[in-house]
Structure formats: C-alpha cells, structure tokens
Amino acid sequence: MTPFGQRMRQLRAERKVSLKTMADEIGVSSSYLSALEHGRRGTPSWLTLQRIIAYFNVIWDDAEELQRLAERSHPRVVVDTAGLDPAATELAHLIADKIGRLGPKSLRDIKKAVLDAARRDGAA
C-alpha cells in the first residue's frame, strides 16, 4: 500500500464509502481504485486526483496533503545517483535490496535518520 492509498482508504472508511460507490461517483473502475490503494498502480492523473479531492470534499491543507501523497506514492522509485559520491550508489542499492525485509518501526527510524541528516547537512 502506498501513502496515498492508505490515506484514501482512511478517508473512505471515515465516510463509510465502498470502493464501488466511490468509483461510480468519480468515473473510474473499482478495480482501479483498489489498485491505487494497494500500490499496484502509479500516481493517479491530475484529473483523477482532482475528482478524488472533490469527492471527499477536502480543502486547503487536506487537498494539498493528498496531492503531496499522490506525488510520492508511485510504487516504483528511480534513484539517480550519477555524479554523486559512490556511497550514495551503494546506499541506494542496499535500500533496494533490503527494504522489503524492514518492518514499520525500522522504516520510520530510517526515515527520521535521513531527514535529520539532511537538515544537519543543509539539504532539507
């Protein structure tokens, strides 16, 4: 599941809406929405994202959060390390190899460590 899919499922659950009902309302198939939630489809198109935002009737910060989550929820991530320190390439490969074996706590800890290091190094 992607961060966008997780949030969309949460919004559906809060409003007690089925995939089929939502899909019918925004003009897509329920299998497409299911694939979005489970990370088997990439980022929704701009139009589909706007329909989802309108469907849930979210505004301002919540709409921006959905857009941000959608942008960061494509299940296939490409990391270009060309021109970076060789350690960056090594790290990218290590993460690609091991990420499937990490639990939620480890993932949160790594995310925090990366963000802290970026702030410290002036890159955030």
Enumerate the domain spans of the chain.
3-71, 86-121
pLDDT tens-digit map of 9-66: 999 999 999 999 999 999 999 999 999 999 888 889 999 999 999 999 998 898 999 9
pLDDT tens-digit map of 74-92: 878 889 999 999 999 999 9
Domain 3-71: which CATH number of 1.10.3720.10, 3.40.50.10320, 1.10.260.40, 1.10.490.10: 1.10.260.40
Average pLDDT over residues 96-117: 93
Which among 72, 38, 66, 31 has a CA at the least distance from the CA of 51? 66
Distance CA 97, CA 12 (A): 33
Torsion of CA 50, 31, 21, 19, to 10 degrees: -90
